[in-house]
Amino acid sequence: MDINEKIIETTIEIFTTMVMMDVTVDGPPLQTSGALTDSITGMIGLAGTHKGVLAIHIPNHVAIAITSSFLGMDVAEIDDDVRDAVGELANMLGGNVKTILSENGRDIDLSLPSTIAGHEYGFKAATDVDLVVLPFKTEAGSFLVELQLEK
């Protein structure tokens, strides 16, 4: 399966079965995630036969709505619950991407997920990478899923 298709399939599956929120693809793949404003990014690293990072970039108000739906409780601001939920989204996406890149599950290791958040920041690779940036849309707003793989 094409890596873009797998990311789309996994994202929709995660949101449908666990976040309890409808999500659709919001247009064609982008060249870059660009400048991220008032957002939170969850990311997880891949190391081994494939090296790179999987990230999900979510505007704060969308992350709050996603976390509220995910946990089934009201969330009002970017707090530990939001950071944990966004990290777990990255973890699930990364784990599923690993399953199609890995031969046997042992040739690629995943890092622990982490998050960054800020008023304005960029997410760029320091080395030459194959880049996939896929836009998604929910009723609360849009977000991006990005995969960088070392060439």
Q: Considering the rule CB under 8 A, would residue 51 count as an interface residue with another protein?
A: no
Q: Considering the rule CB under 8 A, would residue 6 count as an interface residue with another protein?
A: no
**Based on CB atoms, which residue is closest to another protein, 70 or 143?**
70
Strand pairing partners for 24?
137
- CA of 4: how far to CAs of 29, 127, 133, 147, in Å? 9, 21, 9, 9
Question: Using CB under 8 A, which of 9, 18, 48, 139 touches another protein?
Answer: 18
105 by Cβ neighbours in 10 Å (0-12 / 13-18 / 19+) ranks as exposed
For the bound state, the minimum distance from the C-beta of residue 105 to another protein, rounded and expressed in Å, comes to: 1
The CA-CA-CA angle for residues 56, 9, 121, to 5°, reads 10
Q: Considering the rule CB under 8 A, would residue 139 count as an interface residue with another protein?
A: no
Question: Using CB under 8 A, which of 99, 118, 122, 139 touches another protein?
Answer: 99
Rounded distance, CA 50 to CA 136, Å?
Answer: 25
For the bound state, the minimum distance from the C-beta of residue 98 to another protein, rounded and expressed in Å, comes to: 7
Report whether 47 contacts 34 (CB < 8 A).
Answer: no
SS3 128: coil
Q: Considering the rule CB under 8 A, would residue 138 count as an interface residue with another protein?
A: no
Question: Using CB under 8 A, which of 2, 31, 72, 127 touches another protein?
Answer: 72
For the bound state, the minimum distance from the C-beta of residue 33 to another protein, rounded and expressed in Å, comes to: 22
Rounded distance, CA 42 to CA 112, Å?
Answer: 11
Query: Which residues contribute to the site for another protein (CB under 8 A)?
Result: 10, 13-14, 17-18, 67, 70-72, 80-81, 84-85, 87-88, 91-92, 94-96, 98-99, 102, 104-106, 110, 112-113
